[in-house]
Amino acid sequence: MKKTKLALAITTAVFASSALATNGDNMIGTGAHEIAMGGTGVTGIHGAEGVLINPASIGGIQGTEFNIGGTLFMPTIKNETPTSPAGTDELTSAGDTYIIPSVSTATRINENLTFGLGMWGTSGMGVDYSKETGGTAGSLKASSNLQILKFAPSLTYNKDNFAIGFAPVLQYGALDIDHDQTAFSGFGSPNKGVGTGASSDLGWGYMIGGTYKTGNLVLGASYDSAIDMKYDGQISTQLDSFSWLGVSAFTNDHLEQPAQIKVGASYLMGNITLSADFKQIRWSEAKGYKQFGWEDQNVIALGAKYDTDKFWIGAGYNRGDTPVDEQDAAAAGQAGIDNSAKNFFNLTFFPATSEQHFTLGGGYKLNNNLSVDLAVAYSPETEETFKTTSLAGGAFGDVTTKHSELSYTAQMSYKF
């Protein structure tokens, strides 16, 4: 594996896109209903807000739906890296508050066709130690910010209890990575700040999915293609700046959002809906992430909702082990140096280590057309420690990152 991800870890640090906790750097949900129910929604039980989950999800809509909302996303990320001469201070990232908008709509064209349109922030994560002192992260004045926004028109065909949908996806991404190496001049580093300013790119992909209802049971499946992105001067500049530590040079600035396979089932019992989704995120095949040793991530989501003519309440649980895998820092030769660097940068710049998510939400219908929906998601603190045995002759100690998340989502829905 190349050092590719050294910067890559840094690179992905971010704007949390959708509204809650994260699976890797992807948000677990795209709307208040989906978030409240643990990130489930492949079966199309959430109406217009499900366009980016499964384009077939809007097949059951009657008339027109319009949703607009936003998420207040608040991660808490702490870093500790015992190293000489910086010390062992625990640093807290200042990147702790993000606002993420979402807009979706769907309208029935005729008996068999429905058109949908959605725009959401969907991926990202970030750290900001630029004002901290002490510890390696503080000494580096490290900061990273990755933002991913997707725009997807969709067309769904439905007949009887079956629906199939397709959506081309336009993705906008922006990445900015910066750090300062002056604190390590004693090791032979250049006394300079490293960063080229933010880079952005546009990429294209697609989604395809289907749903099928039999009795009270609804089944669904969808596929999201990978979308390649290139952020000129970000990954390569950061990696090259660590050549003084013996880290291999890297010239590839691609950071691909990975493909996803999703399947789900929902069971309807009067006012109660039970749902379960399984999702595989293929980080190990995505450019950039695979060079940094990320593993595929299997995510299980469970949700339940009680719905009446005037209000609904829902709760859920989402679980996916972190895709950030510790590399063998004690490997012989160049491999050990490169793996140590990957471990350091994954946890310092791109700590996508959130695993469990507990969710709760509800909504109230103000009249026959207008409703207000709210959701909250909490991801308890995880703690990961990776070794950097071969980095700078062992001068760096183990890297420890603590990561928790809290988010609040508000949404207004209008049906006519």
| DSSP assignment string, 201-233 | EEEEEEEEEEEEEETTEEEEEEEE--B--B-TT
CA distances from 163 to 50, 150, 207, 265, 278 (A): 14, 23, 14, 14, 20
Q: Per-residue pLDDT for 7 more than 50?
A: no
Residue-wise pLDDT for 36-60, tens only, equals 999 999 998 888 888 889 999 998 8
The answer, yes or no, to whether residue 249 has pLDDT greater than 90, is no
Q: What digits encode the pLDDT tens for the residues 262-301?
A: 999 999 999 999 999 999 999 999 998 998 899 999 999 9
Report which of 151, 247, 231, 240 is spatially closest to residue 197, judged by C-alpha positions: 231
Residue 187 has pLDDT above 80, yes or no: no
Q: Which whole-number Å values give the CA distances from 400 to 52, 171, 349, 378, in the listed order?
A: 35, 33, 12, 21
Q: What would be the CATH architecture of the domain defined by 4-415?
A: Beta Barrel (2.40)
Per-residue pLDDT tens for 291-348? Answer: 889 999 999 999 999 999 999 999 999 999 999 999 999 898 889 988 988 898 888 8
Instruction: Sketch the domain layout of the chain as residue ranges.
Output: 4-415
Give the pLDDT confidence of 61-109 residue by residue, as tens digits. Answer: 889 999 999 889 899 999 887 655 445 678 899 988 888 888 999 999 9
| Count of alpha carbons within 13 angstroms of residue 231, beta-carbon side | 33
Distance set, CA 278 to CA 28, 57, 126, 361 (Å) = 12, 16, 26, 21
Tell me the β-bridge partners of 117: 105, 153
Give burial (CB, 10 Å; 0-12/13-18/19+) of 34: buried
Type of residue found at 409:
T
Considering only CA atoms, which of 162, 49, 58, 66 is closest in space to residue 109? Answer: 58
- The label of the residue with tokens 């028109």 reads 153
